[in-house]
Structure 1
Amino acid sequence: MAGIKDVAAEAGVSVATVSRVLNDHPSVSSEARARVLAAVAVLGYRPNAVARSLRTDQTRTLGLVISDVLNPYFTELARSVEEEARALGYSVIIGNADERPELQDHHVRTLLDRRIDGLLVSPTDGGSPLMLDAARAGTPMVFVDRWIKGVDVPVVRADGQGAIRALVAHLYGLGHRRLAIIAGPAATTTGSERVRAFREAMAEYGLALPDAYTGQGDFQAGSGRRVTERFLDLAEPPEVVFAADNLMALGALDAIRARGLRVPDDIALAAFDDISWFVHTDPPITAIAQPTGELGRAAVQAVVARIEGRPPRSVTLPARLVARRSCGEPSPTRRSTS
């Protein structure tokens, strides 16, 4: 009986390309698709997931543990992971950690018990003995967005440092000098890196980041609201609040509006992690965008490479600044209709 490798050889393409064709992935060229389908017809190939699992001791299933399913960033990430996995012939089981380390480990343990072939995790904190043990046991695993120091697995992430530097330069150019930040949890790599990058970028412009202008959040809207309320109570409030994720930015916006203040007339607002409906707020929110779809696809490709015994590879992609009007940017010039 012909197998997928026989189809790949007959068509003159890779096994991954055959998987994409069989799973109707749009990224395959029409020429390659035609060759694969012709090879399937010639060889009489019929994929059988159950039989394949019994023969190879593989379930063709990946586990994905995300930090917070209510965060639009992670929702989009999960979607791209599922799409790429399906294209490569895998199903995905998703667990939501809700930013709770104990719930994260519960999902990881459950997924490993179900004999998944590979695991993708966006860790909720900086340490997990369970994931360290899983990595040492040889579990094909990849960290996405965040990672745990000391655990030797590939990391697929965006580098926001350059985008944060661009944001500070943008704010400085608009005349802002008193900048504040709502930081994410210090135990997470993204939480600590973003506040450090912000502080370093401010130093490049001779700006200090006093303790009064730093607030500790937890990547949830409630913390963004509480920290912003504290900023607004200061004798000299900041001119700009930079929230280190989108949910904290929404909490900050709630706090500002609850005081009867307007963005950006009374205080400016910027966010890390752009989301599609930031363009629909009034004013649209200036944000740092991560290549979420690319991150999800790269993470699946990395964990599948490990499953297939190929060398692991970490991937770092650039984030970018998307300037809108929440920091006092000039309104776009309207074209005359006369």
Structure 2
Amino acid sequence: MRKVTIADVAAQANVSKSTVSQYLNKRYDYMGEKTKEKVKAAIEELGYQPNIVARSLKQKSTKTIGVIVANILHTFTTEVTRAIEDFCNGSDFHTIICNADDDPDKEKHYIEMLRAKQVDGLIIFPTGNNRELYQRMLDDQYPVVFLDRSVQDIPVSAVLLDNEKASQLAVDHLVQKGYEKIGIITTSIINHITPRLERIQGYEEAIRKHGLQLNENYVKSAEPSEIQDRLNELLNLDTPPEAIVAGNDLVLIEVLKYVKQNHIRIPEELAVIGIDDVSFASFYTPAITTVAQPTFKMGKMAAEVLLDKISKKKIKDDRPDFRFEPKLMVRDSV
């Protein structure tokens, strides 16, 4: 079957090819409603499909961005990518989402693959271990934004939570409720992931601020599969913590599994605060106190900054970091 062309649509609608092209590119400034309706009807009747590759070559833009997430299982990741997709859709951009699993090799593969597909820019939750690749994108003046994490000495705009304040809010609330023996568990810090390190730093600063003794045995980090083992070590110390700050949603899930399996009562035997306001926190029994991130605002900001870079709009600094405020959601677990 012969492929329907712009010329066929123009003939069907009794307009010029340039008018059809203007319609397809949503340039309606000098186009009457009747003309728009005729072109639309002709496209539908003929089943015309634009040649996206040809249009991309002509416009030097694929109207597509790539998003490389660290771990798609995180509630945070799901919500921010939804916000990115919503914002890009409203700006007539498509998104391709890739899951790197915090694996530098997978991240490198996805960066190279997406650039080969000529996406217009990237939003990356960086592993931090592809510094040469990040720097090459900067040298090429390729639009890129980091989300949730930054990489030291790599001047890429980053959208992050105020992570230190997040754990400080958790510790402040626990101290206010009379707790002094407070522990924290995060996922692994081996790769120096920004939010994990900053949340531990914020925890330590808050402990000192309240004049409490900083117990190194109360600070644990591990892969998700090992979280319950670390929690078991914590709670079997000679002087175990009375309260736990779960560093993210995956840690909180493992803490709650352990608590249920070992018949530990919250908050009577162990107080719990999670960083990341997971959907089940409000209806779990007891409802879990959390520190929430403004996930949709963060995702929207990342998309907005990237599209500004793509359209060559001026960004304030070479590397502005956009920090968002956490919010304590007080419930029944503390």
**Match of 1:197?**
202
Structure-2 residue corresponding to 1:322: 329
1:302 counterpart residue number: 305
Return the alpha-carbon distance in structure 2 between the equivalents of residues 159 and 175 of structure 1.
25
Cα distance, 1:175 vs structure 2: 0.5
Q: What is the aligned counterpart of 1:151 among 151, 154, 174? A: 154
**Where do 1:63-102 residues align within 5 Å?**
63-102=66-105
Q: How far is 1:2 from its partner?
A: 6.8
Candidates 212, 219, 222, aligned match of 1:207: 212
Q: Secondary structure at the match of 1:152?
A: coil
TM-score, length-normalised on structure 2? 0.82
Superposed displacement of residue 38, structure 1:
7.8
Match of 1:273 among 273, 276, 283: 276
Is 1:118 aligned to 2:121, yes or no? yes
1:232 aligns with 2:239: no
Residues 24-43 of structure 1 aligned to structure 2 (within 5 Å): 41=32
Q: How far off is 1:114 after superposition?
A: 0.8
Report the alpha carbon displacement of residue 253 of structure 1 after superposing the two structures with TM. 1.6
User: What is the RMSD of the two structures over their aligned residues, measured on CA atoms?
Assistant: 2.6
Amino acid at match of 1:288: V
Q: Which segment is superposed worse, 87-96 or 223-232?
A: 223-232
1:253 alignment counterpart: 256
Matches within 5 A, 1:166-185: 166-185=169-188
> Aligned to 2:163, which of 160, 163, 168?
160
Please give the alpha-carbon distance, in whole angstroms, between the structure 2 residues aligned to 1:44 and 1:54: 27
- Structure 1 residue 44: deviation in Å? 5.5
Displacement of 1:161 after TM fit? 2.8
Between 1:37-46 and 1:98-107, the stretch displaced more is 37-46
- Asked if 2 retains the 8 angstrom alpha-carbon contact of 1:217 and 1:224, the reply is yes
Structure 2: gaps (5+ residues): 1-17, 41-49
In the TM superposition, residue 227 of structure 1 has moved relative to its aligned partner by 1.5
Q: Helix, strand or coil for the counterpart of 2:245? A: strand
The residue matched to 1:254 in structure 2 has which SS?
A: helix
State the distance in 2 between where 1:250 and 1:173 align: 25
Gapped regions of structure 1 (runs ≥ 5): 8-18, 23-35, 328-338
Distance 1:185 1:43 in 2: 61
Question: Following TM superposition, by how much is the alpha carbon of 1:168 offset from its aligned partner in structure 2, in angstroms?
Answer: 1.6
The 1:40/1:229 distance shift into structure 2, 3 A limit, reads: farther
Contact 1:179 1:240 (C-alpha < 8 Å) held by counterparts: yes
Residue type at the aligned position of 1:120:
I
More deviation in 203-212 or 61-70?
203-212
Bigger Rg, structure 1 or 2: 2
For residues 170 and 85 of structure 2, the distance between their equivalents in structure 1, rounded to whole angstroms, comes to: 32
Secondary structure of 1:183's match? strand
Q: Relative to structure 1, is the Cα distance of residues 57 and 200 closer, same or farther in structure 2, using a 3 angstrom cutoff?
A: same
Please report the TM-score for the alignment, with normalisation by the length of structure 1: 0.81
Alpha-carbon contact 1:285-1:326 (below 8 Å) kept: yes
Alpha-carbon distance between aligned partners in 1 of 2:35 and 2:67, rounded to the nearest angstrom: 34
Distance across 1 between alignment mates of 2:31 and 2:159: 34
- Percent identity reads 26
